[in-house]
Structure 1
Amino acid sequence: MADSAGRSIDRVDGIDKVTGRAQYAADTPVGALWHAALVQSPITHGRVTAASIVAAVSRAEAAPGVKYVLTPLNCPRLQVLPEDLTWDLPLERRTPLSDLTVQHAGQHMALVVADSLENATQAAATLDFHYIRSTAQLCAADVVDGPPAHDPPGALIRHGAYRPDHFVKLVDEKLQDRRGAVDEPRGITVAETYRTPVNAHYPMELSATIAHWEGDRLTVHDSTRWITGERRVLAAYLGIPEDRVRIVSPVVGGAFGSKSFLWMHVVLCAVAARAVNRPVKLVLTRDQMFTSTGHRPRTEQRVCMVADDDGLIASTEHHTVTETSTVAHFCEPAGLSSRFLYRSPRLEVTHTVARINAPTPCFMRGPGEAPGLFALEVAMDEMAAATGKDPVALRMANLVPYDQTNGRPWSAAHLTRCYVEGMERFGWAGRPPQARVMQRDGVRVGWGMATATYPGRRMPAACGVETRPDGSVRFSAATHEIGTGVRTVMTQLAADGTGMPLSHVAFDSGDSEFPDAPYSGASQTTATVGSAVFAAAREWRRRLDAWVEASRPELANPMDGPRLAELIAHAGPDLAAALTFTRSSVEPEHNGSVSQSFGAHFCEVEVDEDIGRATITRWVAVMDCGRVLNPKLATNQIMGGITFGLGMALMEQVPFDPHTGQMIGEYYVPTHADQPAFDIAFVSGADYALDPIGVRGIGEIGACGVPAAVANAIYHATGKRLRELPMTIEAVLEPSTKERT
């Protein structure tokens, strides 16, 4: 390939974003629209009375500007989703407003449509329904320790606990796994419990939807990163053909999982727009985002590791208990990395999911790996202390050059190089092995590290090519720009594949009418859509070269981009038509290998024990993510991921009353002032086993391992082992004589 890929190209949409010209879902100009506001349940479990709905709606309909009120009493019958959309994805089995029961606080109970946002909001505030409360199960312990559930077959509302067998549709990623001897061997043992809280995505852009019908055709402008999937799900709920639904989402202002699926407010907005026969706009409030667009569920993880005197691991057990709602399935797959990251002749991994009266959780910032590596990597640090080994040396001694779950080799793995380069860049050789030794300006200083890993994934995708009479070329796919630079990297690939300059190519996304692409998540967009773009670009150049050879052989010598554009512009519409097409890219065969990304985090923390403040001052990360197409964007991605991880480590938890399930207090996230001095590096090495452009995903891995590195650094600074997130001021202040003896 030529010279665009591999260079730190500025974002092609950067100016639009910093000047405010970028158009998000709520910015879409749609004429003559009305506004909607949600009414949500204040209780966690029970039912609403029909009489109170009738009375409240009568009052609301008399309020200024109110045009329509949608409730369980007048909501049109919606279709139950097919099982393949609900059995392993966080999509709700029960259709919205389909009965009078309440399954969680924040459940949508009504939608008010009015001629202005102010009138809709005011009228929604007057809808005071009467609820009959039932006993709620608000945590996994309530379910696991309670009586067994007896739901009828095929129930849409389900109770009790269960053990799913794999993660999403990835049958190789088993959530229940075992190998080796049944009995646990003897040796140096670390057996501890690690806990992570409910985390919220908290994207900058609120979820917003504008729905409007033209006859039997529905167009939805939505803040989503699952365009074609949302089209399918929305069509299924409404009982209409997919080709009657168009989803438009050109720019998404952050997501982190919250915009990976269709949520119930989108369905209700579409239903209301059809009922009033005019466009309806619904923008969730910040508070509503906490209960309406998913979250990371709590986990309680029991890790037991046994090693010999040399630190070689003989046994690993990783048992996770997590939570989902009563109306949808989701499992936080915290134990997946424990299956392969370090040698373990004996292994047992389990996941138990408890259905509780809470909103449906979903994927978030390294789902599974982020909370799972907190437990595993802190346990590894504890094993290093128990065996007297350096934390990096212990990890390196237990690396295996193949995937232990199936015996297949890694397609390209450079974790040892990440460790070695990270140690050198950080100055790890100067780390004293004892805790509570380093000080600076009257505060404790600690150095910690952790391993990062995330799968290399790729799915089928297609790319359209339009050659214009002026000689420019536009590529398109129904993927998404969520702020990570997708359009920029795709433009680089298009330029290299065609031989055109960057100024003569462009990439369009965000419309379900573009060629099909999967959801933008799981660190797969560049490998997935990028492969389709590159294949389309190469096909474009092949067709052009064939035309030149047949029609203008005197130009068959290599031509630069500007001359190509000039040639196309003068060749006429026939050549432009021949160079306009759609090209698909299929899933990889892997050739027997497994693609996995790896990395190493090294962190310095200052701990002021008098006030309980832990400050991250310095961070080194070295990543093995295959070929890096744009170092500037890649570095930015890893910095962002680390910042997410710092929030997870020290701040983020959804505070709620354990007795009522109601949210209380604040949700804190990191700011620029919380960022350390970053040193980000990548080890070189393309991975062509996964895709023809040699890349693996970068978006998720940055956050993976970060909370563990912070916890390990705090231990090195203070001698206090913290096993629960977030590691708050109170946790740092709490005495721990056990750890200091």
Structure 2
Amino acid sequence: MTGTVDRTGRSVDRVEGDQKVTGAARYTADLTLPGQVYAALVQSEIPHGLVTEESMRAGAERASAAPGVLHVLTPLNCPPLGVLPEELTWDLPLERRPPLSDMTVQHVGQHMALVVADTAENAAAAAALFELSYERLPAQLDAREVPPARDGQDGPVRHGSYQPDHFVKLSEEKLQDRRGEPPVDAAHRVAARFTTPLNAHYPIELSATIAAWSGDQLTVHDSTRWIAGERAALAAYLGIPEGRVRVLSPLVGGAFGSKSFLWMHVVLCAVAARETGRPVKLVLTRDQMFSSTGHRPRTEQDLVLLADDDGHILSTEHHTLTETSTVAHFCEPVGLSTRFLYESPHLEVSHRTARLNKPTPCFMRGPGEAPGLFALEVAIDELAHQTGLDPLALRLRNHADIDQASGKPWSGKHLLECYHTGAQRFGWQDRPLAPRALRRDGVQVGWGMATATYPGRRMPAGCRVVTAPDGTVRFASATHEIGNGVRTVMTQVAADVTGLPLSRVTFESGDSDFPAAPYSGASQTTATVGSAVHAAATEWKRRLLSLAGDNAQGVDLAALAGTHHDQLTFTARSDAGDQSGQASQSFGAHFCEVEVDEQIGRVSVTRWVAVMDCGRVLNPKLARSQVMGGITFGLGMALLEQVPYDADTAQMIGEYYLPTHADRPEFDVTFVESDDFGLDPIGVRGIGEIGTCGVPAAIANAIFHATGKRLRELPITLEDLMVPYHPPVAEEVG
């Protein structure tokens, strides 16, 4: 421990890996508290209307008389709940209306009652006894039919469509942007509409909650990735100080956005626990996950590109219509990448969000960028085909050296290297320009590519350091282990800075009593919490060396740390960093090969090369795993995933399909490494979401190269691929 040992940059195994593969890892649904009872939900079956009081009372009476039932919570007996402060609802997808606050129905699957019983089976059986009757009201189910909102709407339930001006609390990320003047004429024009469907998060771990009161103190075990925000929202709903709420979530089994915010079942679980005086456990069913924990909303994107004879883009327009619920705000920010990815003297980007009688949407892996880059990168491919240029050559020709949106230089950008490295590794130079030029074993083969990008973000965070008498050091922050390896990487950062061996450093998370950290999302955790861990480790080492004085070389520093463990126990904090002079963004390039059997409408993704520019890579093994997972996620988005709904009733029908190992291509994932200290002191940018961004477009572009069919609607189905190909008729001359 006499100097810094570079433990970052190594492929260290997950610190909780053995627990996970042996089944010893404990998730919320695995826990059982003394005296625990169980809850089940009753949900609405219509998109808009009013539940009759008579049917609600009758259902509650039947459920109350069922075996093992302890309590039935309905709008008729639910204690009054508080309203969330505006800072939690005005640009975040937390619901303005408290649950069970009235008898109105705003969407299918809205929680209308909660049944508590001695077993989960008895609770579910009693909940099934409810037969609600409704006074139906007209429902808004189609974003295109929603008129602009009237002024003065400030209640918990709102209607109409509106234009949000920026993304979340990031005022520089404008959702409405117009720059430059449109060209009078242009040699080439691509104009197309792209649509993406409603996608479900579908994590392996179902959302689960256990709420328990001890006097006036509430402890909630929950599968969440924002324990600080959940504590604030629960305190507001329940009308108690935040200091009386503790949220625990040590391990989260996948989320993709579904566990980023407080959902209504958590509030009801806390209310039921207070009413019964018992710990109450609620595990959502797989079906309830579709209506109760968010989703990626539909988008309809109109995109127009104008270019000159040489393929230089002259004008870009990207206009989006998307959806939210009547009780919460969310806008899928699909046009953000269009603002800066390619040089464009004239630019127009706009978003309109329609309030529908559907469940509240939220962030989903690659929010905005994933569906937005599908439209943009397919349109770029169309423009390349129209101009007779190779798709990579067109992108190189329109590469933007600075952030056009802000005029700032990039804190680090190596996209050109990603392009060149990826093309070389893939063998792109052998790609024929014309579609339908490649065949293998009787099927069409196509090669496609797309650009990937995702913001580099950093927010304030804290980190507690506790030094034990044996000289081991524990770092802790109210962040989350969501399967991405954050506990492992934070341990590496701490060991690297302190000079301690990895075996003498631990990192803990998932407890709201730890120093505050933001939600684990937006690919910001490593930069955000890593900065706090770096600050804490730096201060720890400074204090230790100060205690050693001039004899640092001859002293057993580990023993010294144990002797002075009280002086080496403290809390450190880091801010959001100075991001005023530079723009931070990760970049990458995807290259893929597909095989298309047009006789049966089957497409197989057979080969994938991805090169990512995400700053410093702290753990190559975990980083590569993140990108592989992101690509698989994007493959599902491109070819399989959509939530099927009946257009008239808004009831879910059919099944939700996901990619499996059989759909996995051969992966070649590499990184262009360059420390980016413009964002944080450890030189990183986020990796978790960029792997998904651009993937659907790369697949769609490869399918065009294989078949000549330009497909602009996701998911791409077998019906799309079986449509007969009609080559253009040659123009008769003379």
**What TM-score do the two structures reach when normalised by structure 2?**
0.98
Tell me by how many angstroms 1:143 deviates.
1.2
Match among 85, 109, 114 for residue 112 of structure 2: 109
Tell me by how many angstroms 1:186 deviates.
2.6
Moved more, 117-126 or 134-143: 134-143
2:592 counterpart residue number? 603
C-alpha deviations, 1:558-607, integer Å up to 9, x for none?
87xxx5334434x3xxx100000000011111351111100000000000
1:587 counterpart residue number? 576
Tell me by how many angstroms 1:454 deviates.
0.4
C-alpha separation in 2, matches of 1:385 and 1:343: 19
1:725 counterpart residue number? 714
C-alpha separation in 1, matches of 2:244 and 2:151: 36
SS at structure 2 position matched to 1:664? coil
C-alpha separation in 1, matches of 2:554 and 2:435: 63
Give matches, 1:408-419, under 5 Å.
Answer: 408-419=408-419
Q: Is the 8 A contact 2:707 2:725 kept in 1?
A: no
1:695 counterpart residue number? 684
AA aligned to 1:601 is: H
Tell me by how many angstroms 1:187 deviates.
2.7
**1:577 aligns to 2:566 (yes or no):** yes
Fraction of identical pairs, as percent = 69
Match among 23, 26, 31 for residue 28 of structure 1: 31
Give matches, 1:362-373, under 5 Å.
Answer: 362-373=362-373
Tell me by how many angstroms 1:356 deviates.
0.6
1:385 counterpart residue number? 385
C-alpha separation in 2, matches of 1:187 and 1:566: 74
1:288 counterpart residue number? 288
Tell me by how many angstroms 1:673 deviates.
1.0
SS at structure 1 position matched to 2:354? strand
Give matches, 1:182-261, under 5 Å.
Answer: 182=182, 185-261=185-261
C-alpha separation in 1, matches of 2:309 and 2:216: 71
Give matches, 1:80-95, under 5 Å.
Answer: 80-95=83-98
Match among 610, 621, 635 for residue 646 of structure 1: 635
SS at structure 1 position matched to 2:18? helix
C-alpha separation in 2, matches of 1:501 and 1:513: 27
2:171 counterpart residue number? 171
**1:615 aligns to 2:604 (yes or no):** yes
C-alpha separation in 2, matches of 1:324 and 1:509: 32
Q: Is the 8 A contact 2:490 2:530 kept in 1?
A: yes
AA aligned to 1:202 is: Y
C-alpha deviations, 1:268-310, integer Å up to 9, x for none?
0001100001100000000000000000000000000000011
Tell me by how many angstroms 1:423 deviates.
0.3
C-alpha deviations, 1:615-645, integer Å up to 9, x for none?
0000000000000000000000000000000
Tell me by how many angstroms 1:2 deviates.
2.4
Q: Is the 8 A contact 1:638 1:698 kept in 2?
A: yes
AA aligned to 2:468 is: R
Change (3 A) 1:740 1:466: farther
AA aligned to 1:103 is: Q
C-alpha separation in 2, matches of 1:277 and 1:518: 31
C-alpha separation in 2, matches of 1:592 and 1:490: 27
C-alpha separation in 2, matches of 1:290 and 1:558: 62
Change (3 A) 1:180 1:116: same
Give matches, 1:425-574, under 5 Å.
Answer: 425-549=425-549, 553-554=550-551, 556-557=552-553, 563-569=556-562, 571=563
C-alpha separation in 1, matches of 2:40 and 2:183: 58
2:263 counterpart residue number? 263
C-alpha separation in 2, matches of 1:590 and 1:522: 16
AA aligned to 2:706 is: A
C-alpha deviations, 1:630-679, integer Å up to 9, x for none?
00000000000000000000000001111110001110111111110000
AA aligned to 2:57 is: V
C-alpha separation in 2, matches of 1:356 and 1:222: 28
Q: Is the 8 A contact 1:200 1:296 kept in 2?
A: yes
Give matches, 1:56-205, under 5 Å.
Answer: 56-144=59-147, 149-150=149-150, 153-182=153-182, 185-205=185-205
Gaps of 5+ in 1: none
1:398 counterpart residue number? 398
Give matches, 1:303-322, under 5 Å.
Answer: 303-322=303-322
Size of the aligned set, in residue pairs, is 727
Q: Is the 8 A contact 1:212 1:219 kept in 2?
A: yes
SS at structure 2 position matched to 1:590? coil
SS at structure 2 position matched to 1:192? strand
2:625 counterpart residue number? 636
Q: Is the 8 A contact 1:79 1:236 kept in 2?
A: yes
C-alpha separation in 2, matches of 1:154 and 1:715: 47
Tell me by how many angstroms 1:442 deviates.
0.5
Q: Is the 8 A contact 1:211 1:273 kept in 2?
A: yes
2:696 counterpart residue number? 707
SS at structure 2 position matched to 1:557? helix
Tell me by how many angstroms 1:152 deviates.
5.3
Match among 669, 672, 681 for residue 670 of structure 2: 681
Match among 657, 663, 688 for residue 646 of structure 2: 657
2:8 counterpart residue number? 5
SS at structure 2 position matched to 1:576? coil
C-alpha separation in 2, matches of 1:203 and 1:184: 49
Gaps of 5+ in 2: none
AA aligned to 1:53 is: M
C-alpha deviations, 1:500-545, integer Å up to 9, x for none?
0000000000000011100000000000001110110111111000
Q: Is the 8 A contact 1:461 1:584 kept in 2?
A: yes
C-alpha separation in 2, matches of 1:724 and 1:280: 44
Q: Is the 8 A contact 2:183 2:315 kept in 1?
A: no
Moved more, 629-638 or 173-182: 173-182
**What TM-score do the two structures reach when normalised by structure 1?**
0.97
Moved more, 94-103 or 620-629: 94-103
CA RMSD of aligned residues (A): 1.2
Change (3 A) 1:25 1:297: same
Change (3 A) 1:112 1:174: same
C-alpha separation in 2, matches of 1:106 and 1:270: 20
